[in-house]
Amino acid sequence: MGSRAATSAPPEASFSVDDRRRRSSSPSPDRSLGQWLAWQSALHPEAIVPGLDRVRPVAQTLGLETRAASIEEPKGKSDDARPIRIVIAGTNGKGSCAAFLEAMLSKAGLSVGVYTSPHLLRYNERVRIRGEAVGDADLIEAFERVESARFEVPLTFFEFGTLAAVDLIERSRVDISILEVGLGGRLDAVNLFDSSIALITSIDLDHCEWLGDDRESIGREKAGILRPRSPCIIGDRNPPRSVLERAQALEVPCSLLVRDFEPVRSQGSLRGELGESWHWQDAAGVGFADLPPPGLSGGHQLDNAAACVALMRTLAPILPIEPAILPDAIRQGIACACVPGRQQIIELPAAIETGRRADSTRDSSASKASSLRSVATESPDKPDKGVIRLMVDVAHNPQAVRALADRLAARSSERDIEISKEGISLPSAKPASGGGRRPTRRAVCGILADKDAAAMLECLAPAIDLWYAASLDGPRGRLGLSLLDALPEGAKGRAFDSVEAAIEAALAESKEDDEIVAFGSFMTVMRVLRFAAPDPCRAPDPCREI
């Protein structure tokens, strides 16, 4: 996986006197948000340095509250200075769960502050307060406060942003905050802050050079967010033993997916394409009936939504709401959750002239992108005529790509594609309905060099007709030619120097009813959306009527 890979986790890093002296000159007061972010990127020589030694003294100087309200104490008896706080760790599903929880809590009438990472289109997305991304001016003021408080401490980009985010959320005096761990858990900057309740989502192999090369090692790092006797919801169907052992050692009351709660329907667990109501029930068969389909796409979102329902039920005793409000808030929050780039489908008009060559000039690319942007709309699963359907997914590890493959397999039956246990076979004599031509599914992919590209591509290869392998720049970038080499034998594709060139070629070669799947990294999806549909959640309220 990489030179740092090991089954044992890295020790907590600390900063030395030499580190303290490595202070860059502070940015001028008039710098823009972009200039601040560029300056932060250069502040520490390493992008990732595990440990809490750097952030702790800065948080203390800022006066940030690291403790959290306790569910063990009756409502009104806990220290008012301690905020109600949710901390989320896991390999996949953290951002989706944050979206579900934000929607549920907001529908209950509570004010919510959310910190997630990475962002997709704008840095401001990382901090949401009362349903809105924070503005540039607020972020800059928070950065200035962190800079004044850090003295000589060399913070990484993520540490700087985490402290600024928590500072903004605390100053907003919201009812509850949701913090998403960036990497691992035990040594992540977010873990400086205690939780009233923790949520651990699905765990799989990712960031192995930092967290260890097996699920047990990675689970041990994720379990670092647990606190003695503070409850935890575990949304992994088969959690690593290391997580359960850590919970037992700390006397953490855990609710586990499958053992203690599960999403079900009359025919059994709901695992494929979503379109029907479902039920949440605990081990005693008690729960919520006829819940709406999640606002986020994919069968795996049922597990995420179910974990969030379990968390809301556990957290209810200290929420400043009437208990009778909770069921409706949960229902509406499930349907309303929106976060771009998670198996999201966007319709693009096939009628636009897309016959330009992929090596067209930059000006023509921009012109075509502008035309596409003006008519791109988020799509239900039943398209209108005359469209190309673009699915974007930030899946960037094998587990996430398997979930994407499941979604494509479920959708393939609607395209008259035969599904077999071995994979997906394309019948040569079965045309698509109405058009006499079987729609083509293209994939635009860009994958970072430290990811298991071969495993990811193998998962998806049976569902893809043509590959458009894009180069990603930067120190972790991978060439498109390298991705072509990693494709399974028999796969057809071409390499491109950039994501923009790849998506332009895919659009130019697509016809009515064709599909394009863009995946592999946040960077890939970001560039595809900026090119084709820069406002993927543009509806003012994505809630359905319930």
Residue 421: is its pLDDT beyond 80?
A: no
Rounded mean pLDDT, 187-202 = 97
CB 519 within 8 Å of CB 459: no
Domains and CATH numbers, the chain: 17-72+84-336 (3.40.1190.10), 344-532 (3.90.190.20)
Residue 487: is its pLDDT beyond 60?
A: yes
The letter for the amino acid at 319 is L
pLDDT value of residue 3: 38
pTM to 2 decimals? 0.84
CB 221 within 8 Å of CB 186: yes
Residue 429: is its pLDDT beyond 50?
A: no
CB 350 within 8 Å of CB 321: no
**411: pLDDT confidence band, cut at 50, 70 and 90?**
confident
Q: Using the 8-state DSSP alphabet, how is residue 28 labeled?
A: P
Residue 273: is its pLDDT beyond 90?
A: no
Residue 302: is its pLDDT beyond 90?
A: yes
CB 237 within 8 Å of CB 257: yes
pLDDT value of residue 475: 87
State pLDDT tens for residues 59-91. 999 999 999 999 987 554 445 679 999 999 999
Residue 358: is its pLDDT beyond 70?
A: no
CB 204 within 8 Å of CB 215: yes
pLDDT value of residue 327: 96
Residue 8: is its pLDDT beyond 50?
A: no
State pLDDT tens for residues 459-473. 999 999 999 999 999
Q: What angle (nearest 5°) sits at the alpha carbon of residue 343, between those of residues 166 and 266?
A: 105
CB 280 within 8 Å of CB 306: yes
The mean-pLDDT minimum among 36-40, 221-225, 264-268 falls in 264-268
Residue 272: is its pLDDT beyond 80?
A: no
**14: pLDDT confidence band, cut at 50, 70 and 90?**
very low
- Structure tokens given for 273: 């394409």
Sheet holding 466-470, edge to edge: 377-378, 344-349, 387-392, 515-519, 441-445, 466-470, 493-496
**477: pLDDT confidence band, cut at 50, 70 and 90?**
very high
Cα dist from 451 to 153, 184, 229, 401, 509, whole Å: 31, 16, 36, 12, 29
**530: pLDDT confidence band, cut at 50, 70 and 90?**
very high
Can you give the three-state secondary structure of 174-220, one letter per residue? Answer: CCEEEEECCCCCCCCHHHHCCCCEEEECECCCCCHHHHCCCHHHHHH
pLDDT value of residue 356: 38
State pLDDT tens for residues 92-141. 999 999 999 999 999 999 999 999 999 999 999 999 999 999 999 999 99
- pLDDT above 70 coverage of the chain, percent: 78
CB 180 within 8 Å of CB 116: yes
